[in-house]
């Protein structure tokens, strides 16, 4: 076995005696080992980021853009290696892993554009006599060192949704990789080391819970950006002190299919939204509400697509549903299915498990209070329901502790306007599934789905703060 891969600490590669094995989902095949940060490495990373603040903030906006373009160029050159790494350690089907690398490139290129557009505003203050002769200039100043904690399901692109806006804003970053997918971030660190960024602009750590919590509590970080589960996210929020917090926490996303919708397209997209990457996406389709007038036809079309979805290993051609990240995740999904069945739900297809693999599973007549409907499944599981009309569909879609995104298949503008007014979610996607996302749009949720917004422009704004200058005319 090769030597454990070292940590990336402020531009230097550092080995530690503590290590963790990296294994392929489903097979348990060894992919190597990575070094884990101890107290000394955590302290070094935090201090390096804190000391790098003036260096990164002092970069011209054009220099920040140049660094992001340089990183994008490096990612482009090694896109096959990066996609293969994601496929192997995250268990993501290769075409989807290749798609993630393409999105990572977009994230970097958009971030480079937005780095040159970080602007404030000019405010006249002469509304009253006291303000006569005075003008306010508001600039957006970097907030300081940023701590980013990333998930396994989009290990490259979601890390870049923290790194790219931070660098564009003028903030150094410490990234803590997901336990299951550390290799891709070490590859990113290797590429970053070659673009000429200031020392301390980036550190990439792998760490156990105790050291991760030490980072979260550290007051040298001005902002915590976390993507993951609500349980962990709100725990970190409770211990992070006075720093600003951005949380993207997922949900149990729903769609409404109206009576005038293109049912063929809707069934195709809903099946994709529910099953792509085995449902391990925070905006996977989990709840499907269909107008009763078209329910029978849509049910037949959707069931056909679920049953036709190919399962297998991530590198097999045509595979959509691969093994989940580990066997515990598969057991949890099957537990949701069994509890729904006990509550009266019918399993239209799937509902079986082989190790870490769960068959594409479509449930019908799931009670609204069942865990399969209330909790985040994070697996290839969806619940199909008939509703009288859009009003009932929206009411049931909103009856959730989460509110990330929703999809509405309807060409009735009044239905769409009502959805926009009514639904308590961060985003509504017309004629498509909530799983749809492009990297420049504001992205985030309400209720237990998180705090703040991602998307390059929005993240940059979160990672800067207004600084006021009042000028007096003589």
Catalytic residues, by residue number, are: 248, 282
Beta bridge partners of 406: 254, 428
Torsion over CA of 260, 264, 268 and 274, rounded to 10 degrees?
40
Q: Count CB-CB contacts under 10 A for residue 58.
A: 11
């Amino acid at each position: 076995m090769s030597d454990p891969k070292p940590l990336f600490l402020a531009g230097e590669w550092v080995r530690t005696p503590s290590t963790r094995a990296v294994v392929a989902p489903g097979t348990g095949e060894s992919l190597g080992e990575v070094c884990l940060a101890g107290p000394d490495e955590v302290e070094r990373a935090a201090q390096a980021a804190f000391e790098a603040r003036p260096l990164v903030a002092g970069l011209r906006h054009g220099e920040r853009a140049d660094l992001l373009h340089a990183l994008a160029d490096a990612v482009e050159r090694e896109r096959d290696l990066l996609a293969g790494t994601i496929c192997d350690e995250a268990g993501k089907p290769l075409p989807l892993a290749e798609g993630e690398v393409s999105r990572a490139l977009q994230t970097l290129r958009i971030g480079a554009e937005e780095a040159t557009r970080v602007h404030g505003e000019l405010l006249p203050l002469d509304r009253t006599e006291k303000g006569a002769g005075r003008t306010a200039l508001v600039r957006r100043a970097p907030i300081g060192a940023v701590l980013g904690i990333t998930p396994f399901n989009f290990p490259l692109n979601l890390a870049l949704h923290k790194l790219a806006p931070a660098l564009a804003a003028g903030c150094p970053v410490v990234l803590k990789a997901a336990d299951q997918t550390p290799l891709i971030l070490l590859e990113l660190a290797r590429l970053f080391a070659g673009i000429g960024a200031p020392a301390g602009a980036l550190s990439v750590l792998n760490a156990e819970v105790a050291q991760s919590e030490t980072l979260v509590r550290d007051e040298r970080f001005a902002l915590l950006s976390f993507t993951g589960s609500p349980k962990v996210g709100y725990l970190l929020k409770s211990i992070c002190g006075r720093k600003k917090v951005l949380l993207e926490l997922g949900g149990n996303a729903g769609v409404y299919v109206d009576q005038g919708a293109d049912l063929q397209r809707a069934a195709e997209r809903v099946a994709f939204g529910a099953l792509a990457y085995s449902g391990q996406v925070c905006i996977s389709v989990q709840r499907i509400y269909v107008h009763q007038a078209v329910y029978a036809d849509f049910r037949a079309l959707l069931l056909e697509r679920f049953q036709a979805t190919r399962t297998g290993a991530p590198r097999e051609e045509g595979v959509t549903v691969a093994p989940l990240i580990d066997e515990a995740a598969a057991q949890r999904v099957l537990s949701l299915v069994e509890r729904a069945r006990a509550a009266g739900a019918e399993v239209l297809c799937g509902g079986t498990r082989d190790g870490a693999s769960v068959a594409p599973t479509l449930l019908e007549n799931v009670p609204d209070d069942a865990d399969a409907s209330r909790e985040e499944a994070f697996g290839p599981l969806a619940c199909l329901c008939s509703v009288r009309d859009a009003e009932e569909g929206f009411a049931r879609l909103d009856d959730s502790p989460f509110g990330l995104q929703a999809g509405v298949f309807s060409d009735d503008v009044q239905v769409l306007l009502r959805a926009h007014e009514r639904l308590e979610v961060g985003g509504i996607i017309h004629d498509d599934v909530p799983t749809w996302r492009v990297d420049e749009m504001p992205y985030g949720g309400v209720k237990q789905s998180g705090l703040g917004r991602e998307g390059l422009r929005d993240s940059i704004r979160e990672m800067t703060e207004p600084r006021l200058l009042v000028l007096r005319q003589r």
